[in-house]
Amino acid sequence: MAYKIALIRACNPRVPYQVSMPPLGLGYIASVLKRDLRGVDLSFHRDVSEIVTLDPDCVFISSASENWPESVEYAAAIKARRDIPVVAGGMHITALPEALPEVMDIGCLGEGEDTALELVEVLRRHGRSASHLREVKGISFRNGAGAIEKTAPRPYIDPLDRLPFPDRELLGDQWATPREHETHLMSSRGCPYICHFCTATSWAKVRYFSPEYTVSEVEWILERHRPEWIYFFDDLFVGHRKRFREICDILRARGIHRRVRFRTYARVNLIDDELCTLMRDTSFHRVDLGIETHSQKVMDYYKKHGCTPEKNQRALDKLAEYGLSTGGNFIFGAPVETLEDMEETYQFIRRNMDKIERLSIGPLQAPPGSGVHREYTENGTIDNATFDWHRQINDGENFAIADDGYLLLNRLVTAEEFSRFVQKAFALQREINLRGELAERDRTMHRLHERLSTTRHELDTLRGSRAVQMGLRLRRLSRR
């Protein structure tokens, strides 16, 4: 009988970005288990009630910090039905392995593919035997006495090319962003920078899938899903310039850039003529910048090394010069940030409304694995054992600062002042994003018009050809 493994990602379906795209991390794990294990039956679920009904042999729950309470609820619901192994994975348990609750048996720390493979073999042969679990690198687990143990760290996967493509078919297509419109991929793991607010700093080094592997995955996506856009969801896809150049060369050599448009993240200090030319000529039409702030003081706090307000403006100007659609991500609420600093950034955004088509803003968070989290656990503001991780979520339409709402880390502004400012910034975000959507529709209509004109021209050319004229004469003669 097959060993049944259920996969689920903890999420809040009322928060749009959490249900916009499938979780590729679980997709990679599924692909590796399918490839390397016999006698396993995998399923992916978006509703924990499906898992309770399925009655699997083990469950893997992936969770970010903001959804950790949901993951604990999922585990409790599963355990109430049957005492099967429940494995937690994701950045939260990786950063806080000691946070494993009683309703979870094992934490998968760091990359999950090799760990899940070894773990499933142990679980189906030996169950939750502590002596056997101690041999599995890269986990935390509860032993027979109920104490949490942490095993030796697992080496990073290297080279990444030995992984199969993530199992997108298992993850399904019932997501807010239809995959025929946009499909995302990850061509690297980690980031070469160490921004204070980001959990990517928890990776000890950056690793990359090879250019050939990356382009092969693009081709795989195009063959099966034919999306309008492919979104390179790496922390910083263009950060390795030589590799990015090689990928662009292959995409153009195979004509792939004429079949799909691309979207990627970039950084203001990397924007120059060479990069813009590569992106423009290879159909990287959407570029999203992690600008964060227009205050040098706040940039320094965030450890945005190499970035300045002048480079912010230069990057926007340069991308506009090359006709690329630009998005900007901004954070408000740094501990060193005054209301005047926030207003400076707000006015920078307003001055560049003609250059920014997508705007994403958010109050500063302290996710485990980030430098901000370390800072605020060390000073006692955050107690990992009691903190309500729902407070990591910010809802622009219903933003609130209260005992059960957003945790304001800034002490230079009052809660009322910050709430008013954030609401103003969210209003600007709605305006800019609506303008961006209209601009994209105009470009789409222009492209359709050009295609129609080209098709008409081709038809007119065909009608004038001797072969077609002869064919029309023969058809008329045959009708007599």
**For residues 271 and 236, what is the distance between their CA atoms, to the nearest angstrom?**
12
Q: What is the pLDDT of residue 332?
A: 96
In this prediction, residue 469 has a pLDDT band, given cuts at 50, 70 and 90, of low
pLDDT at 453: 74
pLDDT of res. 1: 85
Per-residue pLDDT at 436:
93
pTM of the predicted model as reported, rounded to 2 decimal places: 0.91
More confident residue, 474 or 385: 385
Domain-located, residue 55: yes
Distance CA 168, CA 19 (A): 15
The domain boundary, picked from 116, 150, 184, lies at 150
Looking at the predicted structure, is the pLDDT value of residue 12 above 90?
A: no
Into how many domains does the chain fold? 2
Whether residue 54 is contained in a domain is answered as: yes
The residue range of the domain holding 139 is 3-150
pLDDT of residue 402: 63
Examine residue 171 and state whether it is found in any structural domain, yes or no: no
| Secondary structure element (H or E) that encloses residue 5, with its range | strand 3-9
Distances (CA, A) of 291 to 262, 279, 310, 371: 20, 19, 12, 18
Q: What pLDDT sits at residue 394?
A: 58
The answer to whether position 428 is within a domain reads: no
Summarize pLDDT for 364-378 with one digit per residue, the tens: 999 999 999 999 999
Q: Phi and psi for 417 in degrees, rounded to 5?
A: -60, -45
Q: Is the peptide bond prior to 164 cis by the omega test (within 30 degrees of 0)?
A: no
Q: Does the pLDDT value for residue 472 go beyond 90? A: no
Q: Which of 66-75, 100-109, 384-393 has the lowest mean pLDDT?
A: 384-393
Instruction: Give the domain-ending residue among 150, 168, 194.
Output: 150
Q: What is the mean pLDDT of residues 343-354?
A: 98
Q: 269-312: per-residue pLDDT in tens?
A: 999 999 999 999 999 999 999 999 999 999 999 999 999 999 99
Q: State the Cα–Cα distance between residues 7 and 175, nearest whole angstrom.
A: 16
Residue 386 counted as domain residue: no
Which one-letter DSSP state was computed for residue 2? -
Residues 228 and 455: their CA atoms lie apart, in Å, by 20
Say whether 182 sits in a helix, a strand or coil: strand
Is 433 domain-assigned? no
* 84-to-59, 87, 108 alpha-carbon distances in Å: 8, 10, 16
Residue 45, in any domain of the structure: yes
Helix (H) or strand (E) holding 142, with range, is strand 139-142
Q: What is the DSSP string of 7-74?
A: EEE---TTSGGGGSS--HHHHHHHHHHHHH-SSEEEEEESSHHHHHHH--SEEEEE--GGGHHHHHHH
Residue 278 lies in a domain: no
Query: What count of Cα atoms within 13 Å lies in the side-chain half-sphere of residue 303?
Result: 11
pLDDT above 60 (res 444): yes
Residue 59 sits in a domain whose CATH number is 3.40.50.2300
- Which of these three, 112, 127, 150, is where a domain ends? 150
Q: Is the dihedral of CA 157, 158, 164, 168 positive or negative?
A: positive
Q: How far apart are CA 214 and CA 342, in angstroms?
A: 39
Percentage with pLDDT > 90 across the chain = 81
Q: Return the pLDDT at 431.
A: 97
Residue 24 exposed, middle or buried by CB count within 10 Å (0-12, 13-18, 19+): middle
Helix (H, G, I), strand (E, B) or coil at 345: helix
